[in-house]
Structure 1
Amino acid sequence: MDPDFNFTDYDPDGLVSPCTFSNNNSVNHVIGPYIHSIICILGFVGNSLVIITYALYKRTKSMTDVYLLNVAIADLLFVLALPFIVYNELYSWPMGQVACKLLRGSYSVNMYSGMLMLACISTDRYIAIVQARRSVRLRSLSYSHLICTSIWVFAIVLSIPTFIFYDWYQPSHSEVFKVDLEEVKSEPPEYVCEMRFGNSDTAKKIKVALPSLQLAVGFFLPLSIMMFCYTAVIVTLMKAQTFQRHKAVKVVLVVVLVFIACHLPYNLFLLYDTVTLFHYNSCGVVDAVQTSLTVMQTLAYLHCCLNPVLYAFVGVKFRNHFWRIFGDLWCVSKKYITPRRFSRVTSDTYMSTFRRSVDASSDNGTSFTM
């Protein structure tokens, strides 16, 4: 079977009709423009605030800070690329070959790097809590920068097939010809940004290899690391007789459960779709699987909006720096709304009081910072 063909239904006369995927198309036209727009806005705002907080206020003073900053960068780049991916899936791709490869390749890089950074955060929490005696030696900024650089390079290497096989081309089924005597006229060509292969053998290998690689490195590996590390963290915290033990355990459980809830359904359907890729199924079954993949993929995208809340804003110190942004913005706005002299006195008084309270709470606040 040609792997580039969609599954078909056969009528009694032996004629072959292509699958319409009506349910999947209907869901796509709802999720694409509306749900994904919400994800893009929330993800852009949340991850931008994390980056701004680190750039102007908090700085990267620990291994966890470096990982959180890199997760925010990966998620921000992802939500910036998402509108173009949605547009390409719903319509044509007018931006050419280079933009096509950069778009799909960057999506893959950000997906791998973001998931592996989450695994690094869990490892860092494991070392800090379970291996506390060795944490000072192992949790240095130089190590964290080296690990993050290695992850980005590794993600680029894993994405090389995506850069190679995604192509900008005019599919044969989009050509509509009108024959009138000797004159042949065609509609303006529409181009797509999709995977394209030279032969069927290459197509079969790549269409199995890419999802398998995504499942192995982009989900099951981070999930295994997180389960091991956070299980050990919970056991250690339960043994500790501290005031914030139960809160810390709840935070760990929420982080793990949200990760599983967002990513497990999509990856299970992706695994099923990969295993049955070259098996014959009716149009109804394939349409149902593709519709489920679309919905579950959107749920997985939602995780990039939740990362800032789960990993950054849950910490007392980070939350104080976050509120400091709004305090500074409020002072700047009052400077232009109220008379200059009154504004300056009010702003200086407010800022001095606000910063003293922030610094005091930052010094005294302790939490299980994710």
Structure 2
Amino acid sequence: MSEYMMAVDHSNELEYVCDWINFDTISGAIFILIFIFGLIGNILVVCVIFIYEKMKNATNLFILNLACSDLVFTFTLPFWAVYYLHHWVFGDFVCKLVTAANFLGLYSSIILLTAMTVDRFITVVLNTWPSSQLKRERCAIAACAAAWVISIGAAVSDAVKVQVDVKIDWDMNFSTCEAISDISDVQLGYYLQVSLLFFLPFAIIVFCYSAILKTILQASNRKRYRTIVVMFSIIAVFFICWGPYNILIFIQAFYEPRGCYAKEHMFIAHSIFRILAFSHCCMNPVLYMLSQKLRRHLLQLLRCQNAQKKSTDRGIGQNTSVIQNVAFIAQNSAVILELPSK
């Protein structure tokens, strides 16, 4: 719940923004929409991979885990929607649980993206995995397991720092779910979070994809690298969504805005970047559809019942036609046999 209050001596334009735009209400409403699209999209991706794709494929393993990571993050959005539309009404335990799930989805996504990028780098640039496909699959499973273990540990560490706090605003009591700790601990936590779990993976990914793109541009046949394009789009969208939010968190950890004017702009930027970051969980399913194979499987999944019905009807129709043709031929044969000879 935002504690921001506008000063009286603001310019008319800024007063208009503050008076007529409630970012908490807008955030809550958008979170509900993101939850609906993210839930449907990621469930469809999981179903497509389980039904049509090989689970032993390293790329499919990474995409499946990314979809599960997005689902974990998506399930937290209804709680945050209620929080910003009203206040925190779910108690201290749920506050810690939702916070842990929120960070778990974020941390696991970026670690999985980094692992997937390194896998592509080894395959395309170093060209050492194809001779041992089984070894690559085992390394992918180990990387996914490590990503979840590291993410769970980091998420629990962050969740311990939050608790429900009752505050008074304009003679009204409302509950918040936020970090309650010494300011130096908060700054150190933000610094480690942004440095180790955003900027460091970002540097690794930039290095790997620079080498991958260089290798692709030098290759004569680029069609087999379509998977690289899909994965590159997934990673680019991730950093476009989460980049501004994490950079702002890094700035807020070491910079305290002075005056209502600066605080207002910081609050508006934080609200917009938070919406952009949270919307990422419903974008990956759209990016997965850049793959022709996944798009074809999705159409098969969505049209499964209709296709089966049409196939059944077609089979019945064909059988009926065959029976009619046989009967017609038999009838003609009987007529021919009955004709008197001259």
Does TM-score exceed 0.5, indicating one fold? yes
CA contact (8 A) 2:88 2:175 kept: yes
Instruction: String of CA shifts for 1:206-245, please: whole Å, max 9, x gaps.
Output: 3212322331233212211211111111111111101527
Give the Cα–Cα distance (whole angstroms) in 1 for the partners of residues 108 and 295 of structure 2: 25
Matched, 1:302 2:265: no
SS of aligned partner of 2:80 = helix
* 3-state SS of 1:191 partner: strand
Superposition deviation, residue 8 in structure 1:
9.7
Q: Aligned ranges for residues 92-111 of structure 1 at < 5 Å?
A: 92-111=87-106
CA distance in 1, matches of 2:187, 2:20: 22
Q: Distance in 2 between matches of 1:191 and 1:47?
A: 32
Give the C-alpha shift of residue 144 in structure 1.
1.8
Matches within 5 A, 1:38-187: 38-137=33-132, 139-171=135-167, 173=168, 176=171
The alpha carbon displacement at 1:81 in A equals: 0.8
Q: Is the 8 A contact 2:162 2:178 kept in 1?
A: yes
Contact map agreement 1:238 1:245 (CA 8 A) in 2: no
Structure-1 separation of matches of 2:229 and 2:68: 26
- Distance of 2:156 and 2:226 partners within structure 1: 42
Q: Distance in 2 between matches of 1:144 and 1:228?
A: 20
Residue of structure 1 in register with 2:294 after alignment: 318
The residue aligned with 2:253 is 274
* Change in 2 beyond 3 A, CA 1:75/1:31: same
From 176, 186, 192, the equivalent of 2:176 is 192
1:231 to 2:202 alignment:
no
**Cα deviation, residue 78, structure 1:** 0.8
Q: Secondary structure at the match of 1:42?
A: helix
Q: Alignment RMSD, CA only?
A: 3.3
How many residue pairs are counted as aligned between the two chains?
A: 309
Q: For 2:203 and 2:102, locate their aligned partners in 1 and report how far apart those are by CA, in whole Å.
A: 23
Q: CA deviation at 1:146?
A: 1.7
Give 1:256 shift: 4.9
Match of 2:326 in 1: none
- Indicate the residue corresponding to 1:32 in structure 2: 28
What's 2:262 paired with?
Answer: 285
Kindly state the Cα deviation for residue 249 of structure 1 after the two structures are TM-superposed: 7.1
Could you state the TM-score of these two structures normalised by the residue count of structure 2?
0.79
Check the 8 A contact 2:257/2:266 in 1, yes or no.
Answer: no
Q: Residue in 1 aligned with 2:313? A: 342
Give the alignment partner of residue 190 of structure 2, picking from 207, 211, 233. Answer: 211
> Judging changes above 3 Å, is the alpha-carbon distance between structure 1 residues 243 and 99 closer, same or farther for their aligned structure 2 residues?
closer
Deviation of residue 325 (structure 1)? 0.4
Distance 2:317 2:292 in 1: 27
2:175 maps to amino acid? Y
Distance 2:315 2:101 in 1: 45
Judge conservation of contact 1:24–1:288 (CA < 8 Å) in 2: no
Residue 178 of structure 2: SS of its match in structure 1? strand
In 2, Cα distance between equivalents of 1:132 and 1:282:
56
Shift of residue 24 of structure 1?
10
SS of match in other structure, 1:194:
strand
Q: Which secondary structure state, in structure 2, belongs to the residue aligned with residue 225 of structure 1? A: helix
Cα distance in 1 between the residues matched to 2:117 and 2:22: 39
Q: Which whole-Å deviations, capped at 9, do the CAs of 1:58-93 have from their partners, x for residues lacking one?
A: 141211111111100010111121121132233222
Provide the C-alpha distance between the structure 2 equivalents of 1:143 and 1:87, rounded to a whole number of angstroms. 41
Residues 300 and 191 (structure 1 numbering): CA distance in 2 closer, same or farther, change over 3 Å? closer
One-letter identity of the residue aligned with 1:157: G
What is the distance in 1 between the residues matched to 2:304 and 2:32?
Answer: 29
1:100: how far off? Answer: 1.2
Which blocks of at least 5 consecutive residues in structure 1 are unaligned? 12-20, 177-186, 198-202, 349-370
Is 1:242–2:221 an aligned residue pair? yes
Query: Which residue of the partner structure matches residue 241 of structure 2?
Result: 262
Which has the larger Rg? 2
8 Å CA contact 1:126, 1:233 repeated in 2:
yes
